[in-house]
Amino acid sequence: MICVSITEATHQEALQAIERCAPAADAIELRMDLIAGGDLPQLVAAARCASNRIKVIVTCRRKEESLIPGAGVPVTKKNEMTKIAKMKLLKQAVAWGVDFIDIELAAGEKAIAQLQSFCRKQKSLTRIIVSWHDTSKTPSLTKLKEIFWSCVKTGADLVKIVPYACRMSDNLKVLSLIAYAKAQNRDIIAMCMGEEGKISRVMASQWGSHLGFAVLPGVKQSAPGQLTVQIMKQIEQLMKGSFHIARPVPAISDALTFVLLGNPVRHSLSPLMHNTALAAMKVEGHYSAFCVSDAGAAMAGIRGMNIRGASVTIPLKTEVMEYLDEIDADALALGAVNTIVNDSGKLIGYNTDWLGLMQALKNKISLSGKTFVIIGAGGTARAAAYGIKKEGGQPIIVNRNQEKGKALAAQFDCPFYPLADIGKVQADALINATSVGMYPQIHRSPVDAVIPANYQVVVDVIYNPLKTKLLRDAEAKGCRIFSGLEMFVHQGAEQLKLWTGREAPLALMKKTVRERLEKFES
């Protein structure tokens, strides 16, 4: 739907503009803050007479959200309205049965609630748009989402978010926001103002924005970057004729490149898993592995090349932390980052290892009140202990190196046993968080073959081979087993969620990695 803003300086000119735009526009927005001496009932009646299908929006924009450097429509003292006058006028618009009234989020919850209550009392069909404008910049996508939810929380029928584009990439943030709102089943009007924002005006309605805004030829713009209604219509026709976007394309803000950083990375299955998932998610992006030894240089590369996201593996998980702008609380507590999100130049670190392991565990066993022996005292053992504690379980650390094992146990206030004493330990489940048994040492296990008999569930974080010697021994003793494949796929899915804001195709990722490993093993 294309809406023309009626921004004329006088009531007479506004009446003429309504007549001129009625045949082309789907909606008109009466900018009552700009039409000096505008008689609302007459303007609404004129719109209804000109076309019985045209929607009418009534707006009294406050000057803070209207004054744009370089815009053609200044707000003069003469037509600036008091808050009381604005509320009165919006209520009058409801009484006249307009389709929408627009009130800024900045007007406050009380004012918005008053209008909602008025609509209810009037049994009115008028819908309330809660809007937010930034006339100088486009904030981050995260901030835009926060604003979106603030608008939603007011009970808005429709949310309108219009920032000012300073650069082309700002358009992508706003288009991403539309895709995000659509994914939440929320109606939204969003685009960017400014010359750099023109492309968002063209794309917004294709992406799912409820309305696009345009001007009449030869008429001053109500916001810079507006195209004429004819051009917008032509583009709309062209789009309809040439291709059809059934669903919004993925919500990615800037770059579409993803990398794995670590050493070694040559045999990693992350590129296979992530590229398969990206293709299935229809995200135009690529994931590649880079063998890296200098964390600082790698972080500079992510910023410089505008790489959207990175996986971080051994030996950089701790080292990268000092180069990041922000670290998520869980990653900070774990002292390790395995995922980086580049949010328009701001690098944010996360840890999805513990989340992946917890999701995999939760599918097999309830964690609360259960005891878990964790063999190992490295990063993965710490992730396991952290997650188990968080889920209400009790970790027990078992490690070869006693000093390291005791230190980890002290950190989580849990018991420690030397690896040699594992036969003395009782618990519900056993988790191997060491590299013992990993390819090519496939005939090794961190514990004697009889040990798994002490547990109902045995878990290995290793996924190559799919069934380690520990798991084969455990299976022979009748234990429920599961391999590191589950953890690997879940932690990868969490990474994709952080990078794209969307659910990853977990089953496909698992199948793809499993098939590759089976092929490798045969």
Position 353 contacts ligand NAP (CB under 6 A): yes
Q: Which of 17, 60, 260, 461 binds ligand NAP (CB under 6 A)?
A: 461
CB of 156 to ligand NAP, least distance (A): 42
Enumerate residues 6+ apart whose C-beta is below 8 A from 277. Answer: 492, 493, 496, 504, 505, 508, 509
Note whether 474 and 452 are within 8 A (CB): yes
Measured CA to CA in angstroms, residue 434 lies from 77, 140, 449, 462 at distances of 72, 40, 16, 8
Position 376 contacts ligand NAP (CB under 6 A): yes
The pattern of x and - marking residues 380 through 419 that bind ligand NAP according to CB under 6 A reads xx-----------------xxx--x--------------x
CB of 438 to ligand NAP, least distance (A): 5
Q: Which of 60, 119, 462, 470 binds ligand NAP (CB under 6 A)?
A: 462
Q: Which helix (H) or strand (E) holds 177?
A: helix 169-183
Measured CA to CA in angstroms, residue 264 lies from 291, 338, 386, 495 at distances of 6, 15, 26, 20
Query: What is the total residue count of the chain?
Result: 522
Task: Round to whole Å and give the CA distance between 505 and 271.
Answer: 15
User: CA-CA-CA-CA torsion for 81, 83, 89, 91, nearest 10 degrees?
Assistant: 170
CB of 318 to ligand NAP, least distance (A): 10
Q: Which of 488, 494, 499, 513 binds ligand NAP (CB under 6 A)?
A: 488
CB of 467 to ligand NAP, least distance (A): 14
Task: Round to whole Å and give the CA distance between 436 and 442.
Answer: 8
Nearer to ligand NAP, 174 or 316 (CB): 316
The pattern of x and - marking residues 295 through 314 that bind ligand NAP according to CB under 6 A reads -------------------x
DSSP 3-state of 455 = coil
Task: Round to whole Å and give the CA distance between 165 and 203.
Answer: 14
Position 112 contacts ligand NAP (CB under 6 A): no
Nearer to ligand NAP, 161 or 461 (CB): 461
Note whether 319 and 295 are within 8 A (CB): yes
Position 379 contacts ligand NAP (CB under 6 A): yes
Nearer to ligand NAP, 208 or 356 (CB): 356
Report the residue number whose CB is nearest to ligand NAP. Answer: 378
Q: Counting Cβ atoms within 10 Å, is residue 244 exposed (0-12), middle (13-18) or buried (19+)?
A: exposed
Residue 446 is encoded by which pair of tokens?
């961190």
Q: Examine the residue annotation and report whether 317 is marked as an active-site residue of this protein.
A: yes
Task: Round to whole Å and give the CA distance between 341 and 381.
Answer: 24
CB of 325 to ligand NAP, least distance (A): 24
Task: Round to whole Å and give the CA distance between 209 and 73.
Answer: 24
Q: What is the widest separation between alpha-carbon atoms in the chain?
A: 93
Q: Which of 226, 344, 491, 500 binds ligand NAP (CB under 6 A)?
A: 491
Size of the site for ligand NAP (CB under 6 A): 27
The pattern of x and - marking residues 466 through 485 that bind ligand NAP according to CB under 6 A reads ------------------x-
Nearer to ligand NAP, 95 or 508 (CB): 508
**Amino acid occupying residue 262:** G
Q: Which of 79, 124, 126, 434 binds ligand NAP (CB under 6 A)?
A: 434
Q: Which stretch binds ligand NAP (CB under 6 A): 191-199, 208-216, 278-286, 460-468?
A: 460-468
Strand pairing category for 339-343 and 309-312: antiparallel
DSSP annotation of 283 reads -
Annotated catalytic residue: which of 317, 370, 469, 510?
317
Which residues are designated catalytic? Answer: 317
Report the interface residues with ligand NAP, using CB under 6 A. Answer: 314, 353, 356, 376-381, 399-401, 404, 419, 433-436, 438, 446, 461-463, 484, 487-488, 491
